[in-house]
Structure 1
Amino acid sequence: MNRFIILIISVLCFGSNIQAQFSKATLQATGLTCALCSNAINKALGKLPFVESVQSDIKNTAFNIRFKSGSEVNVDALKTAVENAGFSIGSLKLTGNFQNLKVQNDQHIRIGNANYHFLNIKDQVLHGEKTITIVDKNFVSDKFYKVVKSYSNKACVQTGKASHCCPDVVTGSRIYHVTI
């Protein structure tokens, strides 16, 4: 009985520190010309260990991805899977369930095991299901990326890696730049 009470207290205490869990994504690919292209990306994404399912939207060259509950999403692995299938990412939107996560413009936030730098947003508290868009180079068009670079003068926006501009992040760590 005492072990059961300790377990419940542990879950309540440590579980409340979880601020977000990504549950799904919408990935738009570029360079697709036929259903076989779509199938190649679908298979590549489906092999990732954190992906539960992938549904193709051929009309919009998009893929609706569901993540396994409790798994850590690796954004770069999604990109690599698409590229290894011979294509590029045109956009990537992650949807998660947030629990009172305070985000501020031009600030870094840790979600799970990854660092996210919010750009061109109003300071706010994310609660409930919200979608964020990855705006790093090679996740958006070159034309839009030129606009993204104007959102912040921090070096990490151009490199995708933490540097002196990122005081709360280990230098050299991967940082994903996002907007809402």
Structure 2
Amino acid sequence: MRFLKVILLAVGVILATLGIGPVSAQTGQGEGVVREIVVEGTRRIEPDTVISYLLIKVGDPFDEERMDRSLKSLFRTGLFSDVTLRREGDRLIVRVVENPIINRVAFEGNRKIEDKDLAAEIQLRPRVVYTRTKVQNDVKRILDLYRASGRFAATVDPKVIPLPENRVDLVFEINEGD
């Protein structure tokens, strides 16, 4: 009896190693096809816009690589702070959290360089999508402007003020290093 168990176990291991398994695994029935794409979490952006950035479409098989590339494609747009893709049966659920829109950009503490000169130097403007990366880049631009004018001790602290309807005010608090 014990010998029979060992033989059956060995045969099972060999078959598993050779890739011989249940018929559904061989035919790909376990993978399935995308029958519907559902977008959740949009506020300003139309669900069809989100779907247009996906590299997986209705009728395509569920493919991990294509889903991963779709996730990266959505993040690359800069429109979203978070994106998740999950499968529920034959549905692909796309959950997004939109980055806010900038309502207003202001400067505080600057006396040596005027607001208009600072505004001309930065890329963020009202009605542009807010991202931390863009803010960090603009802080660097402001600091470079101060360094070019000989103010190496200047510091810039960006403050984000949340507003209703997924908007923010952005205030650059500047210490000119006096």
Question: Which protein is richer in helix relative to its size?
Answer: 2
Question: Which protein is richer in strand relative to its size?
Answer: 1
Larger radius of gyration: 2
For normalisation by structure 1, the TM-score amounts to 0.27
- Structure with higher RCO (Cα < 8 A, 6+ apart): 1
For normalisation by structure 2, the TM-score amounts to 0.27
